[in-house]
Every structure is written in structure tokens, then in C-alpha cells.
Amino acid sequence: MAEKKKKPTDWRKRFGAAKDPHVVMLHTDFAGVKAGNTMLISSPGEIANYLARIPQGETRTMDRLRNELARKAGADAMCPVTTAIYLRVVAEVALADLAEGKPLDQVVPFWRVVTPDSKVAAKLSCGPDHVAHLIALDRGQAAG
């Protein structure tokens, strides 16, 4: 019996299909967030907007992204699991935009949070080396 081939992920469809950001109350501990805390479940759109506001040539940590968006939503924390998933969705859409010829300054700059040594970079279709290249280009444009 032949193996069923997995269909490629439609990242733009996943981007658009995500629910709006919402805050939930945890009844049990989850992903390092304690029961009784409120947790933001973000969206690819909210993460893309955050990334787009990071000045060219600058970076933010994943923790800072999560803390700032959680605080803005009035939550104690932001879900680390969905953050990583949605960050990948945003990154893959940006990579598709680049592949279609959009200039670097017209795509969501996911490389301002995704570092080459991160788990997210390891899962991206472009790989960690290309993430490092995008960071170098971004910093070069900021200096020039």
C-alpha cells in the first residue's frame, strides 16, 4: 500500500482561519503558567502587528513579546504553545511573500524575534541559516 503524501500547509489559510485573541482563566497548570492565572491566546494577526512595530535592525525576545502582549490584553501570561505556532505561521507567510518578490521592508519581519538557534527557526521551511541571513540584511539596511 502506498504511503499517503501529506499536503503542504497553506500558511495564508492558517493565518486567516485563526480565532481572534482572547484571554482564558487556567484551571490547571499549563506550559509553565500556573492555575488561577489568566492567559492570552493570541493570533497570527496580533503577532504580525507586534513584529511590524519593532524598529528595523532591532530585536525582541520571545519572552518580551509574550509579556508585552499579555500585559496589553490584561492577562497574567501569554500561551507559549500558541505563540510559537502562530509565530511560525507569520514567518511562513513572510517567506512566501519574499519568494513572490516582495522587498524585505514590505514583509512582516519575523526575524526580529525568531533567532537562528530557536526551535521556531529549526521548523521553518527556510532553515536557521536563512534566518541569520535575514537578520544580517535587516541590520545592514538599518545601518545604511
Q: Length of the chain, please?
A: 144
Per domain, the residue ranges of the chain are 11-143
Q: Which whole number is the average pLDDT over 17-28? A: 95
pLDDT per residue over 72-109, tens digit each? 999 999 999 999 999 999 999 999 999 999 999 999 99
Close Cβ partners of 21 (under 8 Å, ≥ 6 residues apart): 40, 41, 42, 43, 46, 73
CATH dotted code for 11-143: 1.10.10.10
Q: What is the pLDDT of residue 139?
A: 86
pLDDT per residue over 46-73, tens digit each? 999 999 999 998 999 999 999 999 999 9
Q: Which whole number is the average pLDDT over 95-124? A: 95
Query: Which among 31, 33, 140, 16 has a CA at the least distance from the CA of 90?
Result: 16
Helix (H) or strand (E) holding 26: none
